[in-house]
Structure 1
Amino acid sequence: MRRAPLPAAVLIAASLVLAGCGGGDETTSEDSSPASQKVAGGSTLDSTWPLTGLPVSGDQSASQDHPVLVAKMDNTYSSAPQIGLSKADMVVEELVEGGLTRLAAFYYSQVPGEVGPVRSMRASDIGIVSPVDADVVTSGAAARTIARIKGAGITFFQEGAKGLHRDSGRSAPYNLFADLGEVSSTIKQDEARPDDYLPWGGDKDMPKGQPAKTIAASFSGGHTTNWSYRDGGYVNENTYAADGDEFPADTVLVLRVQVGDAGYLDPAGNHVPETKFTGSGAALLFHDGRLVKGTWKKGDLKSPLQLSTKAGKLTVPAGHTWIELVPSNGGNVTYKK
């Protein structure tokens, strides 16, 4: 049994100082002194989901008998259509070699059947999945990456494990899929609610910020993910998800991160990047057609993410969040009213 039950606690968020965002942004002036943000109250950890902050309904429990499962999914044209994104609680998009991106799709409140295409892990995933002690569903990884993943104490399930299978109607390597229900059935664990991934709050806690209805998150000269705010949520304009199976983003959180070299080449001879998901950097919180600028901080790979503005603590409105880990050097973020 790898985890012990957590006590109920009131949600709290940590404090940081404001940092500006990189050049090239298209924006109007942000309010110079946004209202101080209140800490979400009246809701205990046991009554909310850790990956969305949303209340638990009916006879469900936020303490499940399975860990958070993270499916590593391909994010290129070859993966279309992606399956299972609509059931994810949260998604993190990270840079991989060749300027492309890969998705870490987090599942906890729902454990769907088919998800994929499932692809390989990167060392970047250690900082992405460790805060909630997640297990990873993957096609595998380079030998040195597997050594680091194991060294970080992360459990993973790769091809050959129960629940992972190839779809004969698709071309390899874009044809590996996972039934997360079958994967989770092999895990023995005490019921325990993971820690909150983000400092959750409510819409009323979000500072006024400035209008921002479109977003373009560019990853180091390669892929750009485009978002538009429509009908109360954010639509990924260039998603590879199957029709009707798109991720229902209530919030897009862009974090500017340092990216280094993982120390090896992929089979095509490209240097494999490694996102350094520790330290601090600029944060852009997009919600309800508005943008609030701030900073993020993460003490070590396992630490929770902390957010702030110059007015104090910054919480993320409860809901489904897509996190963009955009490189500080070579990446760019633009937005318009």
Structure 2
Amino acid sequence: MSVADARRPALSVKIDNHYDARPQYGIDRADIVVEELVEGGLTRYVATWHSDLPAEVGPVRSIRPMDPDIVSPLGGIIAYSGGRAQFVSMMQKSGLHNAVHGGADDRFMYRTGERRAPHNVILKAPQLVAAYDDLAAPKAQFRYTETGAAPLSGTKSAGIDLTFSRVSPRSWTWDQKSSTYVRSQHGRADTAAGGTRIAATNVLVLRVSIDGRYGDVPKTVLVGSGKGTLSTGGYAMPVVWSKESRTAPIVLKDAAGSEVPLGIGKTWVELVPTAGGVAIR
């Protein structure tokens, strides 16, 4: 990563995970991806690119009430296709630059003919970031090992199976050859557009409560604390996570109260409801 690239702002984008939205554009190159429960038991992603910026990312979709808590520590740009007025208002108060489909930054988005609406809004990522390159670069969101290698602690594990709802099972399997976890959804290999298998150095599972105040829209409760599991380097270890405020990063600690580092590389954060399921293999 060049010095110039390191100084650019983070680009976070709300990404569709509906069946008709797969395979997604550029998702395999995101630095951090957060998966969250939405209506109907489905999930969506908040993906963040900084070190590697694809030409196009998407499909871009609408925001949800927990998204300001996810992206506020990163700063920079948040791109989305709209949303309920109260959710948009919440995001506009986050301090990030809001790039909204149909708004002033619509010149950086278009609808591809390769997908059906509403699963077809694509973002021209480099052009959008270049237009707002005066925004600050993001701070590190986690503590990382000094050597860069994944910490070999915890229990040796072949992977982890997750259930957000009865219609949203997915799994991560440790791949010794690539030293990453490869992702599957509904028992099938999960790939990005172009065919690259989605993989991560770190898979961080946070068990979260769901706030039902918005009716049919579930809100993940991310400000607070809870239990979780970090899978990295072929090992899984229990962690305690905490997030003090909307703008604070997530902090991970072990049973002794020491901060837990991640391996340097791509990180997926799975916000699995306490009513869902987590099984370490």
Distance 1:284 1:185, change over 3 A: same
Match of 2:30 among 74, 88, 109: 88
Cross-structure match for 2:56: 114
Q: Taking CA–CA contacts closer than 8 Å with sequence separation of 6 or more, which of the two structures ends up with the larger relative contact order?
A: 1
Query: CA separation of 1:259/1:163 partners in 2, compared to 1, >3 Å: closer, same or farther?
Result: same
In the alignment, does 2:229 pair up with 1:284?
A: yes
Instruction: Give the gaps of 5 or more residues in structure 2.
Output: none
Match of 1:48 in 2: none
Letter in 1 for 2:245: D
2:214 matched to which residue of 1?
A: 263
Cα distance per residue 1:178-205 (max 9 Å; x no partner): 1111211321515x43211111124667
1:314 equivalent in alignment to 2:257: no
| Contact 1:207–1:292 (8 Å) recurs in 2 | no
Q: Which residue of the partner structure matches residue 139 of structure 2?
A: 195
> Of the candidates 109, 114, 131, which is equivalent to residue 169 of structure 1?
114
- Residue identity in the other structure for 1:174: H
**Is the contact between residue 212 and residue 335 of structure 1 (CA under 8 Å) also seen in structure 2?**
yes
AA of the residue aligned to 1:111: L
Further displaced range: 219-228 or 319-328: 219-228
TM-score normalized by structure 2?
Answer: 0.89
What percent of counterpart residues are identical? 33
Amino acid at match of 1:284: T
User: Which letter does structure 1 place at the counterpart of 2:199?
Assistant: P
Q: Does 1:69 align with 2:14?
A: no
Match of 1:40 in 2: none
Corresponding residue pairs, total: 270
Q: Deviations over 1:101-132 (max 9, x none)?
A: 00111111122211111111111111110111
Amino acid in the other structure paired with 1:60: V
Pick the aligned partner of 1:236 from 169, 183, 199: 183
Is this contact kept in 2: 1:79–1:240, CA < 8 A? no
Q: Give the alignment's TM-score, normalised by structure 1.
A: 0.75
User: Partner residue of 2:200?
Assistant: 249
Please tell me whether the aligned partners of residues 214 and 226 of structure 1 are also in contact (alpha carbons under 8 angstroms): yes
Residue 217 of structure 2 aligns to a residue whose secondary structure is strand
Task: Tell me how large the CA RMSD over aligned residues is.
Answer: 1.9
Query: CA contact under 8 A between 1:75 and 1:240: conserved in structure 2?
Result: no
Aligned counterparts, 1:9-24, within 5 A:
none
Q: How does 1:135-214 map to 2 (within 5 A)?
A: 135-160=77-102, 161-189=106-134, 192-201=136-145, 202=147, 206=151, 208-214=153-159
Q: Is the 8 A contact 1:208 1:292 kept in 2?
A: yes
SS at 1:322's partner residue? strand
Give the Cα–Cα distance (whole angstroms) in 1 for the partners of residues 131 and 149 of structure 2: 41
8 Å Cα contact 2:10-2:137 kept in structure 1: no
Q: Distance in 2 between matches of 1:169 and 1:208?
A: 44
Moved over 6 A (4+): none
Distance 2:228 2:76 in 1: 24
Give the aligned residue type for 1:235.
V
Q: Answer with 1 or 2: which has the greater Rg.
A: 1
Are residues 204 and 70 of structure 1, via their aligned partners in 2, closer, same or farther at CA, if it must alter by over 3 Å?
Answer: closer
